[in-house]
Structure 1
Amino acid sequence: MDHPEAKLAPLIHVAGTNGKGSTSSMIRAMLEEHGRNIDAYHSPHLVRFHERILINGRPISEQHLVAALEHMLARNDGAPITFFEATTATAFHAFEQFGTADHVLLEVGLGGRLDATNIVPGPGISVITRISRDHMEYLGEDILGIADEKYGIARPERPLIIGPQRPDVAEHLYQKAKSDGLTFFAHGRDFEQADHMYHDAHGALDLSVTHLAGTHQWENAATACAAIRLGLGIHDLNLCNPAILQAGLANTHWPARLQDITKSCNEKLGTTFPHVLLDCGHNEDAGRVMANHMNSLGGNCAMILGLQPHKDAPGYLAHVAPYLDQLIQVPADVGLPVNDMAHHVPNRKLAHWEEAVRLVQKEKPQTPLVLCGSLYLSGLILKRIG
């Protein structure tokens, strides 16, 4: 393909277990508020494949996507290739051919060190969001080993931003960055976040302007602000303007992250729930975030949970169980079985999420409803309710 990855605009490379998508979307929105053109690569998509590849901030057109896919397939000439590798190569070609970006933002698919996105050379920044246990079948059980995989995106030519981490992970990443002689900016050392307030050498910033639900989004916003003010701001102090950054945070939209879908769900499905929440989180840390939010709703929620078969159901449910009035487990996607990992939370298992919604409507029509557990399930729901 004549190395399209070597011809891209300066890179913003984002790895981590939780918050990659939200942090990436915040970075993109804040840079766009500064008048920058951003090409971006996210995965997986929710409703349409085109969401994975953004050209100048908008999903790639059908015409350009088909052209890029055909080019990739012709150059690959039938050689073995994974779906993610093919998608990544297609994105790089699309950025080269159709984009006019000031920055290219890449969200790691899995891990970091061996990820297909980790082939791009040149200037930019690397960002690591919160690390926890997920994809253990590929990354292992050891949290510091998982951190090593995420750290694999770090490059000597790019400043590294280390977002909030549990203490042992934070210390591990700091020591690796020091040992490798990297320029890096770390939470707790170079920037702070206390509730909705962010602080760094340039001053304070109020993060409460973001419309993304959950106090954990302040943490993601702090990491995004550090990426711009400290990482990119090394070479461009114009990026440190708090009013412009706050406008970008206020304009950030990222579906299926504690998303309120009450109106659409009740209208499309004929339900009467007082509150319907959609979230794609699927690991123990996501369970902790969900529990905090369910507590803010007063608890006693009905939950329809669609975790993939290999996901840590006991770890997720350990946090949300005290706030559950009813639990129904469903498949995370068409053709998948229901997650059958053993846990102690009373539950029922049904074959389809919409069947579960109808059951909750029949038995507990005035109970807050939480639909959660998978990006794939979230995509099915968003497609159904428009």
Structure 2
Amino acid sequence: MQDTLNHIFSLRKNGRMDHSIRPEFFTLLDRLGNPHTHLPPVIHVAGTNGKGSTIAFMRAMLEAAGHSVHAYTSPHLIRFNERIVLNGQVIDDARLKPLLDEVLAAAHDDPDQSFFEIATAAAFTAFARTRADIVLLETGVGGRLDATNVVEHPIATAITTLSFDHTAWLGERLENIAAEKAGIIKPGVPCVVGAQMMDEAPAAIRVIETRAAAMQAALTIMGRDWHVHDVTDSSWSLTVAGETLSALPRPAMAGAHQIDNAALAIATLRAQSQCPVPIDAIHHGLRTAHWPGRLHRISHPAAPASWDVWVDGAHNDSGAIVLARHIAALYASDGHPTHLIIGMMGHKDAARFIAPLAQCATSVTLIPVPGSEGGKSHDPATLVPLWRTHGARNVSCAPDLDHAIATLAATHAPGRIIVAGSLYLAGHTLAQAAFS
């Protein structure tokens, strides 16, 4: 199994970003029996932030309603298997290995095959061969040219929060990014758009509106067509499709932004009719949905029990804004200082990420992202001046996560550590916690 995974992981190094639909990918799907045309009903989700959480809420609500659910998400945090959920269960090695071997054999003569194409073809093949009521399908980098966008007839599409990420491939302006994400909108298929926080959001929404109009797709937008209101410490309400769902429980997932993700999940489920979800299933899903690595509280082997350790996958500006708000809320509730440990991939916009966070923490420790040798990670030392320019105090570097945590524990009174900056770092941190 590991040899197979090592091979597909090596495809990440082929120098081509995984967000183009090539003729060779259609050839691969054809050799596999065109599984993308034999799927259960599909809800397709694109966006910059919140895709995984939105899918987690939909999955929990659908399963609470008695529906069987497949899901395809990325990236994985600890094991590749996490990407493919069959009927509510992460695919096991016994099913995954022959599946990957079959897909690789079918793609053997394609020198430009990519990691994401192989993973997506494997997911489609598994979903087509295993009965379920619905598929929750997450895009990879973009939307318009994403390998998942070969699905031509979803029952609904959703677009989550837009932000500045992967700009080298999607464009430097939010309108460019919106155009790529809106590429999943299909003729006559309802599209639901979630919360937006960037100043450039109005122009981006106009791009989505233009695409929806061209596709004659019913478009509903948070804040315009459906609304979150009456938010308290214990409940919130949602008005969608002419119906008000009152006194909904706060999501189990941490962070005020998860109400927005949950609202998008509900609004999207309300936009389709093939898998009805009653109100009791919505309540159950809100209480039980979980998405690891997003404001996730853990026990870490390097941290004394007196320290509170969290891990978050925030790695762009909107993720940093959400994280900064959560840090402020935590401090308001208990007065404990926050210490940030940050590692960032080299292609991420460090300045946009740093600006919202620089003055939130008592200290900032910068580390390389594990496994990102060879220049793929931002050099921590080069980011120190940027943090200081934005007002951060007590900025330092450490060689790795364990050293960073140990140094904090030795030099500060017990407080809160939040590890963030990269989903790869989040996965590494969770793996250390899981296997300690």
Residue 202 of structure 1, CA deviation: 2.1
Q: Report the AA paired with residue 96 of structure 1.
A: A
SS of corresponding position for 2:102? helix
The CA distance in 2 between the partners of 1:94 and 1:372, in whole Å, is 33
SS of corresponding position for 2:251? coil
Given candidates 268, 272, 287, the residue that maps to 2:320 is 287
Aligned to 1:25: 56
The CA distance in 1 between the partners of 2:330 and 2:251, in whole Å, is 19
Match status 1:355 vs 2:403 = yes
Aligned to 1:37: 68
Aligned to 2:208: 173
1:251/1:37 CA distance change after superposition, 3 Å: same
Aligned to 2:302: 269
Residue 67 of structure 1, CA deviation: 1.3
Match status 1:74 vs 2:105 = yes
Aligned to 1:85: 117
Residue 273 of structure 1, CA deviation: 4.1
1:89/1:319 CA distance change after superposition, 3 Å: same
Query: Deviations for 1:81-102, whole angstroms, at most 9, x for unmatched residues?
Result: 00111111111111122x2111
1:338/1:175 CA distance change after superposition, 3 Å: closer
Given candidates 232, 244, 267, the residue that maps to 2:272 is 232
SS of corresponding position for 2:116? helix
Q: Report the AA paired with residue 417 of structure 2.
A: L
TM-score, with structure 2 as normaliser = 0.83
The CA distance in 2 between the partners of 1:209 and 1:132, in whole Å, is 25
SS of corresponding position for 1:87? helix
Q: Report the AA paired with residue 244 of structure 1.
A: A
The CA distance in 2 between the partners of 1:13 and 1:206, in whole Å, is 28
The CA distance in 2 between the partners of 1:210 and 1:338, in whole Å, is 34
The CA distance in 2 between the partners of 1:274 and 1:55, in whole Å, is 37
Given candidates 202, 206, 222, the residue that maps to 2:243 is 202
8 Å contact from structure 1 (residues 207, 221) kept in 2: no
The CA distance in 2 between the partners of 1:281 and 1:42, in whole Å, is 17
SS of corresponding position for 2:49? coil
Query: Deviations for 1:52-103, whole angstroms, at most 9, x for unmatched residues?
Result: 0000011101111011101101111231200111111111111122x21111
Aligned to 2:286: 249
8 Å contact from structure 1 (residues 338, 349) kept in 2: no
Residue 179 of structure 1, CA deviation: 3.7
Q: Report the AA paired with residue 170 of structure 1.
A: I
- Between the two proteins, the alignment pairs up a number of residues equal to 377
Residue 260 of structure 1, CA deviation: 1.3
Residue 175 of structure 1, CA deviation: 3.4
Q: Report the AA paired with residue 135 of structure 2.
A: V
Match status 1:94 vs 2:134 = no
Residue 169 of structure 1, CA deviation: 2.3
Match status 1:375 vs 2:428 = no
Q: Report the AA paired with residue 171 of structure 1.
A: R
SS of corresponding position for 1:92? helix
8 Å contact from structure 1 (residues 68, 90) kept in 2: yes
8 Å contact from structure 2 (residues 303, 409) kept in 1: no
8 Å contact from structure 2 (residues 228, 263) kept in 1: yes
8 Å contact from structure 1 (residues 72, 90) kept in 2: yes
SS of corresponding position for 1:232? coil
Report % sequence identity.
36
8 Å contact from structure 2 (residues 303, 405) kept in 1: no
Could you tell me which runs of 5 or more consecutive residues in structure 1 were left unpaired when the two chains were aligned: none
Match status 1:258 vs 2:298 = no
Could you tell me which runs of 5 or more consecutive residues in structure 2 were left unpaired when the two chains were aligned: 1-31
SS of corresponding position for 2:272? helix
1:297/1:55 CA distance change after superposition, 3 Å: same
Structure 1 vs Structure 2 CA RMSD: 1.7
Match status 1:332 vs 2:363 = no
Given candidates 169, 184, 188, the residue that maps to 2:223 is 188
